[in-house]
Structure 1
């Protein structure tokens, strides 16, 4: 005999006056999110958890969709069951429903009518026994017996992007940072800068050909009259002038506009006039991956094509500093390779082993390093356990150090386009953080990129007051 759960209906002739059925369900936040997806109702009062829980769903339930859905579920699956046709309903919403409330929905046969129609009394009560919905529903009951396997509902996952929200919250109350925006000559570049200003993160100084910058602002429908605008002959000139503002101390952040990254970085790494420090410059993505408990820092995916062992050491130091700033006190650093064992023919595994020994000897501090680790072993505790890897990093990595730019770029884009992740990018190791945004970035991602750079700049100022001004000399 099969143990498969079955669903069976009650035909019109089998149903008796007073017969009843019920289901119980607890309201969770995902119910509200799914309601918004199905109905298109994205009113902040329904979705913003800063509202009182009872107020949130009192308004949602007034639409009748969730309450009516509970009643429909009883009628369609329990009594009468499969084959039921819903005709009409009259419901009263007497009390708000809040997150965590457990609702028991029951239907009771009140009247059997002609043409196989049945009138049901409907009632929904909360965990305290208080009525939240009362009323009646009329259905056409099935006339043929149906018994079939109960269909299992698919797993539905709401992608959680709270990571960036928490990141941006860390910047509140600290004051905006003067930011040199190099060549903002497209609507996307202007929009990114102004949105960050509106969020209280930056005070943009716009640097580029004046006519082109103003035209871009018109296309973006953004008012730039309140911001300083410095004319530049072309994109290379804009990059040079933006870097000069950093050196003079007039700006504490550098933001890429619509010029190529190579053009901006050319001005940054110039030996006499650039922004180099003793550290190698590197790029990091702060990835907000749905359902992953912590941010993932992936480095380097944009600057260093094939870094040497020395370069990788600086890339790791930069990433550890970034992790500290975003609230990870002792980041777990996984040095990635295709395998988790040292193989002399694979340089990435040799580098990983050497980097771990450098950390053991105090040459790299502030984090816990392990490698080589394959990606699955770095991210999944189950995969690490299956391979017999005993490590404080395996399965819990917060920083992923890739062997080269191609691997990092592909990994970040796979997480973005297949995993639904967001990638906030920042350049590290220069005198100031450098904000890199893309035209394809969402508002949340653009603001997160600015927030990361903001926190780095504030941390540097607190650690060494006056440093930027001194370095700019």
Structure 2
């Protein structure tokens, strides 16, 4: 934004200036954090007055700050010093409202170069007066022009993509899910939380005594929930797989047991859940500041996948992206470089996968590679490298060369970029919800929502 002020001598009574601003949920969250005002009336997902509705009312001083934006940016502009300000509130603004803030010079005092200005904020949709008042400011003495484009930006750590997934899954019938060995508070609590949101209808398979002790520890009542008493983890996994094969469950969910114990039962050649493709893992990640969910695969199952396995990794990820509502998933196959290098196997595999998608051997999405991480997700980086592709800079799915790269990428996004991650195993007859012991409530809920959405699309 280019800022150029007006000095006291240049300003005349009657001069006016205005700015428009769309009030967003994130604006209100930033204001709550900066001001320390955590009144739930101003928080988008909280009911602040007990009427059963989430208000998301813009705080009065947030609206007032829109006046200071006009004063500091336009009239008088850079170098303006506040002396006084009065406000009277006539109506309330909410997240989603577009407002116009306006100031008009009503007086000048040579002593101290003081301006008085009438101030108001209106809602554009209906011209409703939200705020009126009067400002007294000291106008700048010297001309100042600057570009504020280099002002550091803010990224709100709100996981909007997961919230949207929960909204998408809400109308679906609860997915009957065999929860294997939920014998400690986090794994049991995650399943019960997903039940509270009607995402799943859990059947708990494990040591009854441990499950009940975990429920008591978190203060939950297990009345009405089916519990199959099976203390042995391997046997519990087998019973869960059998439920799926018998049509009694539409998903599996990992509880407090080792992943390989659960997967061993699902991969059994005779009694497992094989469906023709390799089992592959996908992280669906909600990265703050990114405009779309980001799928990362495979970071948990296939250690050093060959080309044939990577075909299934890509196809499974595309299918899941379609289930999440991404109309034409854009898949970036990662390597250290964006050109084919015969000495770098990942670049060769990436090029082959891209060509296979062109020839219809991989369907449902756009696949391009090799792409380095920067030019897969950043359009400016892709343009700098001269890469012309509908995927470069816009990738919604990232396919990594091996499990090391995938695990590092997912954990960097989680612990450095503050992303949330939902985990799912694909390629089986039903989705397998794979949560980490470190996952928080939102990650567990999102994993169940992703499973429900994928089951709904693939079983239709």
Tell me which interval the TM-score lies in, with the shorter structure as reference length. Answer: 0.7 to 0.9
**Cα distance in 1, alignment partners of residues 338 and 71 from structure 2:** 55
Q: What's the TM-score once normalised by structure 2's chain length?
A: 0.82
**Cα distance in 1, alignment partners of residues 254 and 325 from structure 2:** 25
Equivalent residue for 1:189, pick from 187, 190, 209: 187
Contact 1:267 1:274 in 2 (8 A): yes
Note the aligned Cα RMSD (angstroms): 3.8
Contact 1:71 1:106 in 2 (8 A): no
C-alpha displacement of 1:102: 0.5
Counterpart residue number, 2:267 = 269
C-alpha displacement of 1:73: 6.0
Counterpart residue number, 1:26 = 20
**Cα distance in 1, alignment partners of residues 88 and 44 from structure 2:** 23
Higher mean C-alpha displacement, 264-273 vs 24-33? 24-33
**Cα distance in 1, alignment partners of residues 308 and 323 from structure 2:** 23
**Cα distance in 2, alignment partners of residues 125 and 426 from structure 1:** 48
**Cα distance in 2, alignment partners of residues 187 and 391 from structure 1:** 47
C-alpha displacement of 1:138: 7.9
- SS of 2:264 mapped into structure 1: helix
- SS of 1:104 mapped into structure 2: strand
For structure 2, the residue ranges without an aligned partner over 5 or more in a row are 49-53
Contact 2:15 2:105 in 1 (8 A): yes
Counterparts in 2 of 1:246 and 1:134: CA distance versus 1, 3 Å: same
Higher mean C-alpha displacement, 148-157 vs 346-355? 148-157
Counterpart residue number, 1:92 = 88
- SS of 1:306 mapped into structure 2: coil
Equivalent residue for 2:409, pick from 408, 411, 427: 411
After TM superposition, list the pairs within 5 Å mapping 1:53-68 onto structure 2: 59-61=57-59, 64-68=60-64
Higher mean C-alpha displacement, 73-82 vs 125-134? 73-82
- SS of 2:439 mapped into structure 1: coil
**Cα distance in 2, alignment partners of residues 119 and 389 from structure 1:** 54
**Cα distance in 2, alignment partners of residues 294 and 247 from structure 1:** 35
**Cα distance in 2, alignment partners of residues 56 and 8 from structure 1:** 39
**Cα distance in 2, alignment partners of residues 336 and 420 from structure 1:** 22
Counterparts in 2 of 1:56 and 1:194: CA distance versus 1, 3 Å: closer
Higher mean C-alpha displacement, 99-108 vs 223-232? 99-108
Counterpart residue number, 1:41 = 38
Contact 1:75 1:84 in 2 (8 A): no
Counterparts in 2 of 1:365 and 1:134: CA distance versus 1, 3 Å: closer
C-alpha displacement of 1:435: 0.5
Equivalent residue for 1:445, pick from 435, 443, 446: 443
Give the number of equivalent residue pairs.
444
- SS of 2:102 mapped into structure 1: strand
For structure 1, the residue ranges without an aligned partner over 5 or more in a row are 463-473
Counterpart residue number, 2:224 = 226
C-alpha displacement of 1:107: 6.8
Contact 1:21 1:79 in 2 (8 A): no
Counterpart residue number, 2:237 = 239
Contact 1:379 1:397 in 2 (8 A): yes
State which structure, 1 or 2, has the greater radius of gyration over its C-alpha atoms: 1
